[in-house]
């Protein structure tokens, strides 16, 4: 059994003109100790998916099972008591997500105090120092403030806060996008080392295909609230079947003086996510769109090797 099982998850937001389908019928399994990368342009619903999994948003419908228990449908009080600490999130901009008035030590001890996992002052202080060591923050930084640190160290505080409650599942929402490239690699390596050491399960949300290739076991490509392609990470880069994924991958720079990949520039209007029609949402931008694409919604189907694609013409393009 997978650690996380998502079944037909929907998150709609009421807006003036109707319902905005931010997450629309998403189904996926995430095995313990693995990383699933969630990729797509901004506004495709990837962050809303992460926030719905950890109940920062309540699902409109569908199930999220954690070790077989439906956590999306349970009472919030029960979720907070039994599951909040097991699912944690690391945010994109560490500076914006950290209270500038709190020192490093106070920031890391805050979730421990709020969860009441530990009550003894000395035990809390010991846990804070253990977390600092784990994420590579020197003890002497305990009384410094976020503005005195560089972006990489600030993100290490965010990681220490997430780890302080001994979670099993961590949703990393663009955790390296705001960092310099040299620091990105350090933080990614730290996340991978921690995963091995603690058998953590990650959902890694990003718009950066090179980062997701480096860190994921599996990748799900999202477009306007829906998963349009999902498979093993290596398979996606070897055999990209959905036209939208092909466009995303074509944007990755090739590190070679010989290799030059042609970038696919998408033209056409973006479909509105408000009350979308039952057709392929990518059709107005798809270079291969035919009449059928505007008349019927393609469902995810298995193309072999657990490679799922939502395109009427997958394998023929």
Question: Contact residues for ligand SF4 (CB under 6 A)?
Answer: 243, 280, 282-283, 286, 288-289, 293, 298, 311-313
Least separation in angstroms between residue 289's CB and ligand SF4 is: 4
CB 29 within 8 A of CB 231: no
Least separation in angstroms between residue 229's CB and ligand SF4 is: 10
- Residue number with CB closer to ligand SF4 (204 or 223): 223
Least separation in angstroms between residue 37's CB and ligand SF4 is: 20
CB 44 within 8 A of CB 225: yes
Least separation in angstroms between residue 295's CB and ligand SF4 is: 10
- Residue number with CB closer to ligand SF4 (22 or 293): 293
- Residue number with CB closer to ligand SF4 (32 or 285): 285
- Residue number with CB closer to ligand SF4 (253 or 304): 304
- Residue number with CB closer to ligand SF4 (60 or 272): 272
Least separation in angstroms between residue 282's CB and ligand SF4 is: 5
- Residue number with CB closer to ligand SF4 (26 or 314): 314
| Cα 86-88-93 angle, rounded to 5 deg | 175
Residues in the chain: 317
- Residue number with CB closer to ligand SF4 (3 or 293): 293
Least separation in angstroms between residue 225's CB and ligand SF4 is: 15
- Cα-based distances in Å from 33 to 193, 232, 274, 282: 12, 15, 36, 33
- Residue number with CB closer to ligand SF4 (120 or 291): 291
Ramachandran angles phi, psi of 309, nearest 5°: -140, 140
Least separation in angstroms between residue 280's CB and ligand SF4 is: 3
DSSP string of 6-60, one letter each residue: EEEEEEEEEETTEEEEEEEEEEEEE-TT-EEEEE--TTSSHHHHHHHHTTSS--S
Least separation in angstroms between residue 286's CB and ligand SF4 is: 3
């Amino acid at each position: 059994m997978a650690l996380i099982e998502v079944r037909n998850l929907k998150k709609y937001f009421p807006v003036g003109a109707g319902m905005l389908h931010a997450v629309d019928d998403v189904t996926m399994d995430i095995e313990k100790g693995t990383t699933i990368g969630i990729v797509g342009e901004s506004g495709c619903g990837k962050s809303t998916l992460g926030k719905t999994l950890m109940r920062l948003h309540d699902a409109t419908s569908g199930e999220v099972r954690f070790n077989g228990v439906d956590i999306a449908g349970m009472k919030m009080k029960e979720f907070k008591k039994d599951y909040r600490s097991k699912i944690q999130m690391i945010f994109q901009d560490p500076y914006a997500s950290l209270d500038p008035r709190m020192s490093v030590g106070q920031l890391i001890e805050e979730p421990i105090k709020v969860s009441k996992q530990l009550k003894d002052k000395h035990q809390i202080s010991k846990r804070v120092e253990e977390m600092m060591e784990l994420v590579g923050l020197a003890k002497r930084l305990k009384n410094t403030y976020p503005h005195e640190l560089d972006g990489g160290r600030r993100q290490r505080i965010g990681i220490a806060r997430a780890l302080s409650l001994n979670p099993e599942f961590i949703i990393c929402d663009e955790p390296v996008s705001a960092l310099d490239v040299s620091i990105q690699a350090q933080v990614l390596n730290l996340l991978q080392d921690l995963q091995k050491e603690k058998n953590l399960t990650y959902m890694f949300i990003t718009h950066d295909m090179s980062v997701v290739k480096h860190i994921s076991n599996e990748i799900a490509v999202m477009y306007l609230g829906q998963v349009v392609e999902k498979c093993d990470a290596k398979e996606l880069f070897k055999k990209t079947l959905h036209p939208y994924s092909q466009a995303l991958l074509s944007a990755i720079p090739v590190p070679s003086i010989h290799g030059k990949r042609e970038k696919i520039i998408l033209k056409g209007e973006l479909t509105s996510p408000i009350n979308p029609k039952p057709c392929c949402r990518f059709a107005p931008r798809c270079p291969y769109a035919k009449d059928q694409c505007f008349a019927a919604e393609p469902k995810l189907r298995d193309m072999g090797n657990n490679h799922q694609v939502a395109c009427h013409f997958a394998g023929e393009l």
